Structure 1
Amino acid sequence: MRALHVVTLHTPTHDFGGPTRVALNLCGGLRAAGEQAALVALGDGFPAGPLPREVDGVPARLFPARHVLPRFEVSGITSPSMLAGAPALLRSADVVHVHLMRDLVTLPMALLAARMGRPLVLQTHGMIDPTHNRVARAVDVLGLRWVLKHADAVLHLTDTERELTRAVVGPPATAPAMAPAYRLVNGVAPQAMRPPAPAGRPPTVLYCARIQEGKRPQDFVAAMPTVLAKYPHARFVMAGPDTGALAGDMLALARSLGVGHALEYIGALDHAGVLARLRSSDVYVLPSVKDAFSVSVLEALSVGLPVVVTRTNGLAPEIAASGAGRLVDSAPGDPENGTRVGRAVLELLDPAASAAASEAAWRLARASFTLDAVVDTLRGLYERVSGPHLPGPRRTRPARGLRPGRRPSAARAS
């Protein structure tokens, strides 16, 4: 099986975060299972010279990013050379798996794959939902709705994501139904349990995600006074690419609260660096209110690191049920957000609570979110949407072979 994963962007500092990491994880898992999988994306921020042909062990076809609409940031980049070569790339694959957003990379590739009759799987990562933005709504009318109807499968992380994506297509009474929807959770490679903290080491609290408004790093910083009141030597580490140009503001906020001495910003990390920081920390905090299924939270769980997340995080139900961390209420602009996060961190710094949550986190990741299980599900889905090999250079796509009445054993239609 030859799977082509299309994602918007890859940079040396992993600025695009989750979707690219998920695509790389899935490609790596597919290859480990004996399938052929490769990544197609734009490359940006690399030194002059040829772009890498491999990312984290995954074959990659990266095209130089051209910023044609700078004010739209990642949604406004494209590559004429990628679009020109797209038909050949798409024909080379048995399944085209597009990590879809409203942009000039994944949406054109998905539209072309559907028009060419290529077996097409869409994964939206919580990025496709109803909007009042006029430009985004125009994109929906010009192509997004059509491709959501004509794909072979649309993958969702949660029931909420599925319903929001369906709402973009339109009410069933007035528009054809969205393509069959299947749940596919994110998965991570199993990891060894992190070692106990050395005796006498100050507690370390970690934020490791993009530094941007949507991730709410200000709530992480605002939690510091509450924690430092009990643990005056605690250290707070903020890691991740500064895509929102907010790192300086966060350091200034810490100084204004009188806790600047306890906060360190270390910038973007590679994957090995992320795992190393997770292993050397005591609590992981992600105050984002919109993460559908955060890979960074999964990676924290995988090493047995207790987590603090908002109740709107897609992993919140599993974290609460297992005892792998604490949930907090959060709303943009609420001055109590930081205090609530701080109190949750204090709970998890208690030695007994920390030990119980650490064990629960590690077991949860192993039981429910291993990459092998996710890849097995995905392979079963690919087999159904790709259909039998037919003679000639192209294959006829099966007519709606994934309707809910015909569910593949490894995936669940909904």
Structure 2
Amino acid sequence: MQAASAEMEFERAAVYRDRLAALSHVVSHQGINPQTVEEADVFALHQEAGQACVQVFFFRTGQNWGNRAYFPRADKAMEPGEIMASFIGQFYDDKPAPRLVLVGHEPDELDLLSAALSERAGHRVEIAAPKRGEKKDLVDHALQNAREALGRKLADTSSQGVLLDGVARVFGLDAPPRRIEVYDNSHIQGSNPVGGMIVAGPEGFVKGQYRKFNIRSTDITPGDDFGMMREVLMRRFSRLVKEHGVRGDTASPEGEVGPWPDLVLIDGGAGQLSAAKAILDELGIDDVPLVGVAKGPDRDAGREKFHVPGKPDFMLPLRDPVLYYIQRLRDEAHRFAIGSHRARRSKDIGRAGLEEIPGVGPTRKRALLNHFGTLKAIERAGLDDLASVDGISAATAKAIHDYFHEGS
């Protein structure tokens, strides 16, 4: 790393730096180094309050190569052996098992599972539930980790439940929301417009249900945030009605986040809220609570104003936990929308180079590439570096910089 840095190969030095950090992380997790176990995966299951945690430790060449906690969705009536068999079978669905798998609970149909793993891995796989010795110590250690991980998750879920109770109280909902959808838009002077939707529930952010919407309409004036929001909500809720019927027609399984939102937060004030309500009215949807979250003066966090249809606008006390929670939701929606926008913009930059940036024609584009060498280097350049290029004024340098760094 130092040699690369001395040669001014800073990107290569950064790669070495990241590798050192990764190696340090691995070494720091090697506190347990068994004497009698060369290669094994260790599975331990802990159940509490209707939830389950499976802690997995990985041992290779006699060293601990790390561990990870998993929280499988399992029916409360399932026995530990049934959960363990199902989890292990899915865990090795896309990877070979080591020759030894140690478990805290013997999985159902152990022989059949062992034979299936052996055939997939191309070598004999033994599944054992040790009763004594060092192998039992490894399982016990994994079980302790599973117990602690599930305890932390239950505590987080409890805190989340308190927050959702507060959300219901603040916005006058009949019950704590199980699915909150938050919408935000991102663009630069109307270019590469993208809408983003994030989802949150009793267990936090549900990232697998995030959605991005590339704005398609050619009738929307560049920069028209109201028009963008109308398109996003029309696409989202018309599809929701088509796939799931009206709200309340289908009940989601216990413990899962259903398809219909119990609360929709719009990043914006009264205008954005009116645009959102008009779309839902057009679709005949009148039972989805809507709230507009307007940024405070000078975008001050903590001074947000909340807009609810048919009610006076209001603000929350600065130290109200619900306010912090709403800020986290809004920030996550903004992060997701910005990230989606940048990904779309990067594709366009790759196709069109710098041509979409106002004030950058062929001559300036050539000057920038001659000076920096690559588009990536131009994207990373600071304002002073951009302004130092022949033919690039301070205003043009700012336009280029803003194009690449909007929202950061």
- TM value normalised by structure 1: 0.26
Question: In terms of Rg, which structure is larger?
Answer: 2
Q: Looking at secondary structure, tell me which structure has more helix per residue.
A: 2
Where relative contact order (Cα < 8 A, 6+ residues apart) is larger, the structure is: 1
